[in-house]
Chains A and B, each alone.
Chain A
């Protein structure tokens, strides 16, 4: 593990690294019917698919006068046309047509961001394209595996994305915020185990021999209609850079060995969460609830999706209120509790990535714009 350096324990870090895969949308949202405008990590994008189905993410501003390309139209097999003066670009972002001239300015282009379609999502890399390695896309294989079923939604949250990460890395809040569905007092009375490496953080919590809260009692009865009694419950939260959290959750009949690995007398779900910073105070929160039992029952898929949607609406309300309070109290810092260990490791990994990028980008912002040289002939080599 590299030395990540000290992190200010009270820092309210709101930034995001650019070198990472973020979800720009669900696979079904990006198509050829229309061009989708989305902002990912502060980068406005025009998203569409080529005729052969490949997703494309171009900077949403024409090279010429910055008109949004997302207001334009798709042309040819892979192109897009600016709505204002008709400049056309191919999927690589190269200009292929300019009005009123016989040639094309070779400098004319818009950024074409690396895009990968995987796990039912369209992933975009907003940073240095030469570092965009598809093997770094977070593992969300349950999303499109035949062994799992489920669905999810998107929440457009008026809050910084790290507040969402905080929320998911510490599920103690379920006891208070979600008391009618998944909350119970054992959440805050059981110990957590936190591990991390350079790209991931894992928080594990086991609760033995407890009453099943309403959400989980219902799930147990979907699979075992005669189920009665107490359960063992687990939550294994895994964060992966830059902003994906998959949570292995479930309960099993108490004492049947689920916490030791035999989950045959229980129900298992994966809460898939990937949070895209739009800017410092808004995020797109993509989630799904996947399960590995009763795979053929759409009723259960819909019930789980709607149930989790209800739970997450409680989170959304809190996150927005929290964001407002943060902005209303600019001089106040964060303080931390023992329960924040997972979230604090996440914050430290993110902070280290942001600072590493800032070191290299310094040149782009801190040069002296005043000291231009004397006018002189320009020649090369």
Chain B
């Protein structure tokens, strides 16, 4: 359970690829060696650029020889999802044995599974195990439009009354307080979705003083409050000044410049890569779960592995199309010893 965090690679061959919704493809991959598909597990894939991407396991065949993924074509794709959408049956690519950061605990009296958009891929497997076990569970699936929600028909068939849909453009958006009204201290809630949704649930959860260990989510550390943009990092004690590109992390940029920094999980959980902020021109987009809300508001430290610097503080302004971009690049100066 806690063991499968080290990547081991094998060769995968695309068996089938077909649309699962608008902008989402279901990709089935045949494996050389069988694997056990646990709920909540994901695999890493090496894409054509050499980069690595993680995708949740939506399911697998009985004999463990075939796994199913759901891949969303991101409009801001840096190549990963575009490459994945170009795959055809017969294509070969390296794939890890399943990795597990989001295990389902069996035996809770009640479960709430909350999926936002493509986040459904992390919860499909959990829902089917809970159904098989006869557990008390509800699968809540939130989306903007029905057309963009993957696996809808098969989910409805499998889960019937246990599936609840909230679709924005059908006038049925999710109310987080109403959702948590149905959660008692013994309920375990598993969620995967946009950071705004997960953050809203986390705030409400804390406010209601529900037991924090019962709120389970997968953090991959990739989505923030702001779009990733380039920013400048300075580490005066190392004589380093470099631009952090949109395709790399602050920690990557520091290491590339020769700065020795301690780190471990690289997904904003462990707190080993925390660095003190000396000065800031812009807003820190804290993408970690290590700091508390209070610590994040202080902006005196950040997790270098996931957090970024953005131009504006107010995320609402981001959507404001008319707002003129600031001319200077956001900049952060770090006290790295």
Contacts and interface: CB of A to CB of B under 8 A. Distances in A.
A377 B51 contact: yes
Given A363-B34, A363-B97, A380 B220 contact: yes
Given A114-B106, A373-B50, A104 B213 contact: yes
A372 B7 contact: yes
Interface in B77-96: 78, 80-81, 94, 96
Contacts of B71: 381
B262 interface: no
A373 B9 contact: yes
A35 interface: no
A283 interface: no
A96 B213 contact: yes
Contacts of B219: 106
A92 to B, nearest CB: 5
A90 to B, nearest CB: 6
Contacts of A59: 2
Interface in B175-210: 188
B50 A103 contact: no
B52 A381 contact: no
Contacts of B252: 377
Interface stretch (A260-268, A305-313, A354-362): A354-362
B220 A364 contact: no
B222 A130 contact: no
A371 B8 CA distance: 8
A111 interface: yes
Dominant SS at the A interface?
A: loop
A378 interface: yes
A165 B132 CA distance: 33
Interface stretch (B165-173, B229-237, B276-284, B291-299): B291-299
Contacts of B270: 105
Contacts of B10: 363, 367-368
B105 A360 contact: no
A96 B4 CA distance: 22
B54 A380 contact: yes
A130 B106 contact: yes
Interface in B35-49: 35-36, 38-39, 44, 46, 49
A360 B34 contact: yes
B2 A376 contact: no
B145 interface: no
Contacts of B98: 363
A90 B185 CA distance: 13
A381 B97 contact: no
B210 to A, nearest CB: 13
A69 interface: no
Interface in A101-139: 101-107, 109-112, 114, 128-130, 132
B239 interface: no
B133 A130 contact: yes
A355 to B, nearest CB: 13
Given A363-B33, A373-B94, A105 B269 contact: yes
Given A364-B97, A381-B55, A111 B1 contact: yes
B80 A379 contact: yes
Interface residues of B, number: 71
B247 interface: yes
A366 interface: yes
A1 interface: no
B54 A104 contact: no
B266 A378 contact: yes
A369 B294 CA distance: 41
Given A367-B8, A379-B78, A379-B80, A102 B295 contact: yes
A161 B138 CA distance: 43
A367 B103 contact: no
Nearest to A89: B213
Nearest to B267: A378
B216 A106 contact: yes
Which one of B6, B51, B265 has the highest number of Cβ atoms from chain A below 10 Å of its Cβ? B51
A50 B94 CA distance: 46
Contact of B292 (A103, A128, A360): A103
Contacts of A114: 106-107
A59 B33 CA distance: 28
B274 to A, nearest CB: 10
A150 interface: no
A363 B104 CA distance: 20
Nearest to A130: B129
Contacts of B129: 130
B106 A377 contact: no
B158 to A, nearest CB: 16
Contacts of B39: 130
Interface in B93-139: 94, 96-98, 101, 103-108, 118, 121, 129, 132-133
A92 B271 contact: no
Which one of A59, A103, A112, A368 has the highest number of Cβ atoms from chain B below 10 Å of its Cβ? A103
B51 A371 contact: no
Given A105-B289, A380-B55, 11 more contacts: A101-B290, A105-B269, A112-B105, A130-B104, A360-B34, A360-B64, A362-B34, A373-B52, A378-B266, A381-B121, A381-B220
19 contacts: A92-B105, A92-B108, A93-B105, A96-B213, A102-B294, A105-B270, A105-B271, A107-B101, A360-B36, A363-B36, A363-B97, A364-B36, A364-B97, A367-B9, A374-B50, A378-B53, A378-B266, A379-B220, A380-B220
Interface of B: 1-2, 4, 6-10, 33-36, 38-39, 44, 46, 49-55, 64, 71-72, 74, 78, 80-81, 94, 96-98, 101, 103-108, 118, 121, 129, 132-133, 188, 211-214, 216-217, 219-220, 222, 247-249, 252, 265-266, 269-271, 289-292, 294-295
Closest 10 CB pairs between A and B? A367-B8, A376-B51, A94-B213, A102-B292, A363-B35, A380-B220, A373-B46, A129-B106, A374-B50, A111-B1
